[in-house]
Amino acid sequence: MAPALKRFLSFGSVVLLCLTTSAVQLAQPEPALGLTVSVFQFELPATTSSSSKLEQPSILQTTSSSVTPRQTSLTHMRDFFSNVSQYFGTRYRFGGQTPAGFDCSGFVRFMFDKVFNMSLPRSSKEMSALGNKVSKNDLQPGDLVFFHSKSQRINHVGIFIGNDTFVHSSLTKGITEDQLKHEYYEKRFAGAVRLLEIPRSTFPAPQKQDTEKEFTKPS
Give pLDDT tens digits for 47-73.
433 333 323 333 443 333 445 566 676
Selection from 56, 219, 67 nearest residue 126 by Cα: 56
> Domain 3-23+64-199 class?
alpha beta
In the residue annotation, 18 being an active-site residue is answered as no
Residue spans per domain, the chain? 3-23+64-199
pLDDT category of residue 197 using cuts at 50, 70 and 90? confident
pLDDT per residue as tens digits for the range 117-161 = 889 999 999 999 999 999 999 999 999 999 998 888 999 999 999
pLDDT of residue 65: 40
Mean pLDDT for all residues in the chain = 71
Strand-pairing partners, residue 174, are: 170
Q: Which of 18, 76, 148, 168 is catalytic?
A: 168
Sheet containing 154-162: give its strands across: 132-134, 189-194, 144-148, 154-162, 165-170, 174-179
Set 76, 104, 148, 182: catalytic member: 104
